[in-house]
Structure 1
Amino acid sequence: MARVCQITGKRPQVGNNVSHSNNKTRRRFLPNLQKKRFYLPEEDKWITLKVSASAIRTINKNGITSVLKKARENGNILV
């Protein structure tokens, strides 16, 4: 899987670099992805996910099990 968050589904976006003389060249805005291990106490195992920084904050707020359940319902995650 390339530069895609496994929880939120965030992908690279495209836009323009705009110079002082208003020349426009194409560029990509990449999501802030981190490879992170999470412990699942229900299954007694560790999983490694490629998640964005905002997804890490969501996991810290709501808990890994509820976030994984919602991501599986949306079809974002295959674990």
Structure 2
Amino acid sequence: MSRTCKLTNKKPLVGNKVSHAKNHSKMRQQPNLQLKRIYIPEQDRWVRLRLSTRALRTVSKKGLMPYLKSQGLTLKDVIA
């Protein structure tokens, strides 16, 4: 399973760690992903999603279905 947010498509960033002596070594910054169970009252069911914490805050505020509608997504796009 790839480390991407299902709603925002946030992925790991790749770059270089640079020491004081200018030595470069590869590093990855992982997004803060959480596996969360979200209730959808419109469909009376639960859905498990892997979300970034930023997307989780937005879904908590707006609700899942209005957020998907504003992003132009459907529930099938997110779950599949």
Counterpart residue number, 1:77: 78
CA distance in 2, matches of 1:8, 1:76: 12
Q: Residues of 1 paired with 2:77 and 2:24: CA distance?
A: 34
Q: Which has the higher contact order (CA 8 A, sep 6+)?
A: 1
Aligned to 2:5: 5
Structure 1 spans left out of the alignment, 5+ residues: none
Deviations 1:2-28 (A, max 9, x none): 100001000011011111211111111
Across the two proteins, how many residue pairs are aligned to each other? 78
CA distance in 2, matches of 1:3, 1:71: 22
Rounded Cα–Cα distance in structure 2 between residues aligned with 1:54 and 1:36: 13
2:23 alignment partner in structure 1: 23
C-alpha separation between the residues in 1 aligned to 2:34 and 2:72? 17
Partners in 2 of 1:46 and 1:3 — Cα distance? Answer: 22
Give the counterpart letter for 2:55 in structure 1.
A
Give the RMSD, CA atoms, in angstroms: 1.9
Identity %: 44
Runs of 4+ aligned structure 1 residues displaced above 6 Å come to none
TM-score normalised by the chain length of structure 1: 0.86
